[in-house]
Structure 1
Amino acid sequence: MPAYGNWINGREEASGATCETLNPYNQQPWATVAQGTVQDVDRAVRAARAAFEQGPWAAMTATERAALLRRLGDIIKRDAQELARIESTDNGKLYKEMLGQWQYLPEWFYYNAGLADKLQGDVIPSDRPNFMIYTRHEPLGVVGAITPWNSPGLLLIFKLAAGLAAGCTFVVKPSEHTPVSTVELARRIHEAGFPPGVFNVVNGPPEVGAALVGHPGIDKIAFTGATETGKKIAAQAARNLTRVSLELGGKSPNIVFADADLDVAANGAVAGIFAATGQTCMAGSRLLVQQDVHDALLDRIVEQTRSIKLGDPMDPATQMGPCANEPQLRKVLEYIDVARQEGASLKYGGQVDPALGGLFVQPTVFANVHNAMRIAREEVFGPVLSVIPFKDEEEAIRIANDTRFGLAAAVWTQNVHRAHRVAHRLRAGTVWINAYRVVSFAAPFGGYGESGLGRENGVDAIREFTETKSVYVELSGAPRDPFKLG
């Protein structure tokens, strides 16, 4: 089996302790990964701090950083197939989906390379004739990034591209379930010519992440994962006044009005929840359907769900892969049981697939769901769809916003006025109109409420990795009263 180490100060390091990472498709080990320690976290943070404060990275201009980002983008484009194969093997997502992600991810580096040397300050009109005032946007410092198992490469690069463009350095703790693609990325960052210490990886259990969050040498924690974990991270980081950005869970409403094209809406609803086996923070897990078309749309969705092909993620014909790990499978099955107990009507699925077994759970559709049920309020993070009827626009908006989350939403209608009117009233960081599950390097991504803090992607993201400094320049050169302000 291939072996992967921690990556500290420009070198891949083996360690005494290792663990095996499992292929969710066959539940067999396929690689060994070094297990980091609290001491490894400290060494990685110190390496990142040294690179930030001195040496080649600290001395680089923004234009020089941009050149490295473009080179890294080219390397990822070259190796997209291999990176997609590795990530699919590690987390069970479809190879064709992972390939699409890795082929697209170079754009994050190209886009942020373009921003790197455009972090311009302002000259501020002064209220004092003897002063010039201007601002600078300076890199924040050392970033601790903690990433999840569902899309480890994508969700790391959401943070990394903007942070490197701003001039920060990184220590990354990937999920213990899917660490391999992060180490593979470290190898390519080294190949691109980034100086030692700029990018570091410490693998291991949650204790490694806790050590990273609590380290006084960290200036910012960038986390993607479960909401409850995000709350704990924010509380721990507050002890050192460490900044945080949190991209957390969702219970996103997918709203279908009676005038929508039902065939298109059905495709969008199925893709919104069953793509990636529902293991995505922006999954459209609540399908709100206007009563006039509820039964017709439900019939279409159940028919499509029955035809979804489960199987080997590497097979181009496969449409849905397994759950990523055993704990996640158990969680999904527990929520299916809860939905039955609460009175939801099971229309399809609801069990481990009898033909494949293992970590394969059937795509599942529940009808007769109301918004007070746990299945409609809590994040399942699996292929479970809750169908909720509504009467009119006001009720749809009320149900959609009746959640502690606010990551994403969608509106399906052919009425352009309604489309924009509803989109403006939804409390969500991203709203799609007649589409679902689309992201871009150029558009901010993040949530309202318990879906998180801060934004990734777009121009907004690079600001999350900078400090703003005001500089006052005295112009007259004349002696001043030392006890007079200004």
Structure 2
Amino acid sequence: MTDSQALAAALGTNPLAAAPAGARTAADVVTPEVVAQLTRDVVGSGRTANHTPLTGEKLADLPESTPEDVATAFDRARAAQPVWAAVPVRRRAAILLRFHDLVLERQAEVLDLIQLETGKARLHAHEEIQAVAIAARHYGRKAASYLKPKRRTGAIPTLTKVTELRQPRGVVGQIAPWNYPFELSIGDALPAFVSGNAVVMKPDTETALTALWARDLLVEAGLPAEVFQVVLGEGPVVGPEIVKHADYVSFTGSTRTGREVAQGAAARLIGVSLELGGKNAMLVLEDADVEKAAAGAVRACFSSAGQLCISIERLYVHASIADDFVARFAARTKAMRLGASLAYGADMGSLAGERQLENVKRHVEEAVAKGATLVAGGVARPDIGPLFFEPTILDGVEAPMAVCTEETFGPVVSLYRFTDEDEVVAQANATPYGLNSSVWTKDAKRGHAVAARLRTGTVNINEGYAPAYGSVQAPMGGMKESGLGRRHGSEGILKYTEAQTVAHQRLIPMAPSFGMDDEKYAAFMSTSLKALKVLRFR
């Protein structure tokens, strides 16, 4: 028994025990018939496979796409897109609303797939269900308003009639990550579809079945199959081909790869949106509710085993409440149940891959070797599954420990104490990243004031990440090296369109007329411009 397990046992908890086993197995869920149904339209002439991190066993043999296959997928999508764009926006939006209902009705199917492909706990998998349903509902209801033609004031009021149109970009290339294979694949594709685009998606091979299930359900809801193409393969092979053929690129992943995607898009002068890495901070001010903050920190740090771009990896606690907070947070962390079953009940699941496990081990072991203290966790749990690692709290972390500045992307958080608000805001901002942050205080006004000083795309007050992400009318994305562009809200759909201005000049031309020479015309226009300012035209 580890020290953390012993302490949790002394507190009368169930320390990191495996959750009750579910009745279903991978073989029950991923049958040959299911695989054949989901992969029937994948453009791929080779073969590859994916595996479950829960046990390491192979889940399915899958088609693998070559560069030529990617080109074929884009050809198919490009042929189908104009017909799709001609469908009235309200009919396109109705498909999203039908998809919303199907997702909720058949969620058990995709929850199994998400768990099998990512290893995450079922409740954390359900966060993806919630996010996709909210996005489908929002764009199903609001797309027509976002995209409708808008009247603008013309150069000469009443004589110049101006309309702003929104035209689809064409074929969107989407490169989706492995950590949220439902939400960050189909969730990002929905606004692209409803705005009249086709999509060629490259999900991560290890989580491809989840994305393919989403495609299958969207087609069932009414989306033309040819409008949604899927290609599979290694990122360095297939990714550049996506960028090579797309009219716009949506990418979620690492900052390093994001730079490569941006460079490829820039060379072709096409648009790109990027959600990249984060080293997110949570600030617990001296007037915070310590018990609620400790419970919230568990959610903020260890959901999906910390494999979430917006999860918390740096935890700043005011010195006056630090001992109380750490005791409560540590007790809750040590009591977490790890589990590998396809059922609710586990508090945390597995890491998704060997690379993630090795990175987590490296960060923790190096920090401890250089003087950091393990408050909780710190060890792998192969007794539960090959990639399980205990939720871990580190104290006394300092530069140049890698965990201090590098994104861990695992169930590891570093504790820091502070006494000065200005100082802690500066520390929270002292990172090249700027994705998400969290502030805990009983004073709403103070919380909003601190939030406005944090250089992150989203800030949550008295919660870790879910309120900002789930509020889909508001934009979500990163500052600094955490990305470009936004998902959600008007920005999340308008990025998939090109703005087009149509100006209709009536009665008189924008030129000398009615016998005026150039000088008289210039004088007339100067007088008119002064008058428009006095009349407060915009």
TM-score (norm 1): 0.93
Structure 2 matches for 1:226-237, cutoff 5 A?
226-237=254-265
Aligned partners of 2:44 and 2:247: how far apart in 1? 27
The structure 2 residue matched to 1:63, chosen from 48, 66, 90, is: 90
CA positional deviation for 1:6: 10
Q: Which residue of 2 aligns with 1:178?
A: 207
Residue 472 to residue 297, structure 1, CA distance change in 2 (3 Å): same
The sequence identity of aligned pairs, in percent, is 34
Residue 470 to residue 364, structure 1, CA distance change in 2 (3 Å): same
Residue 113 to residue 183, structure 1, CA distance change in 2 (3 Å): same
The structure 2 residue matched to 1:459, chosen from 467, 490, 497, is: 490
SS at match of 1:239: helix
SS at match of 1:285: strand
**Which one-letter code corresponds to 1:453 in the other structure?**
L
**Which one-letter code corresponds to 1:149 in the other structure?**
W
Q: Which residue of 1 aligns with 2:180?
A: 151
1:96 matched to 2:109: no
Q: Which residue of 2 aligns with 1:287?
A: 315
Aligned partners of 1:201 and 1:45: how far apart in 2? 10
Q: Which residue of 2 aligns with 1:411?
A: 439
The structure 1 residue matched to 2:106, chosen from 79, 86, 96, is: 79
1:137 matched to 2:169: no
**Which one-letter code corresponds to 1:75 in the other structure?**
L
**More displaced stretch, 395-404 vs 131-140:** 131-140
Q: Deviations over 1:167-207 (max 9, x none)?
A: 11100000122111111112122222222421110011113
- Kept in 1: contact 2:67–2:238 (CA 8 A): no
**Which one-letter code corresponds to 2:100 in the other structure?**
G
Q: Deviations over 1:244-283 (max 9, x none)?
A: 1001111111101121111111111111111110100011
CA positional deviation for 1:351: 1.9
CA positional deviation for 1:148: 0.7
Aligned partners of 1:446 and 1:13: how far apart in 2? 30
CA positional deviation for 1:288: 0.3
Structure 1: give runs of 5+ residues left out of the alignment: none
Q: Which residue of 1 aligns with 2:18?
A: none
- Kept in 2: contact 1:371–1:399 (CA 8 A): no
Aligned partners of 1:249 and 1:154: how far apart in 2? 17
- Kept in 1: contact 2:186–2:214 (CA 8 A): no
Structure 2 matches for 1:158-173, cutoff 5 A?
158-173=187-202
Q: Which residue of 2 aligns with 1:387?
A: 415
Q: Which residue of 1 aligns with 2:19?
A: none
Q: Which residue of 1 aligns with 2:476?
A: 445
**Which one-letter code corresponds to 2:125 in the other structure?**
M
**More displaced stretch, 229-238 vs 124-133:** 124-133
SS at match of 1:149: coil
The structure 1 residue matched to 2:344, chosen from 316, 323, 334, is: 316
CA positional deviation for 1:134: 2.0
SS at match of 2:211: helix
Q: Which residue of 2 aligns with 1:112?
A: 139
- Kept in 1: contact 2:43–2:73 (CA 8 A): no
Q: Which residue of 1 aligns with 2:371?
A: 343
Which structure has more helix as a fraction of its residues? 2
CA positional deviation for 1:123: 2.5
Q: Which residue of 2 aligns with 1:127?
A: 155
Structure 2: give runs of 5+ residues left out of the alignment: 1-30, 526-538
Aligned partners of 2:293 and 2:237: how far apart in 1? 43
Residue 371 to residue 447, structure 1, CA distance change in 2 (3 Å): farther
**Which one-letter code corresponds to 1:360 in the other structure?**
F
Q: Which residue of 1 aligns with 2:234?
A: 205
Residue 478 to residue 456, structure 1, CA distance change in 2 (3 Å): closer
**Which one-letter code corresponds to 1:353 in the other structure?**
R
Corresponding pairs, count? 481
SS at match of 2:115: helix
CA positional deviation for 1:314: 1.9
**More displaced stretch, 374-383 vs 68-77:** 68-77
Q: Which residue of 2 aligns with 1:25?
A: 54
- Kept in 2: contact 1:41–1:208 (CA 8 A): no
Residue 420 to residue 166, structure 1, CA distance change in 2 (3 Å): same
Aligned partners of 1:457 and 1:297: how far apart in 2? 34
Q: Which 4+ stretches in 1 moved above 6 angstroms?
A: 5-8, 477-482
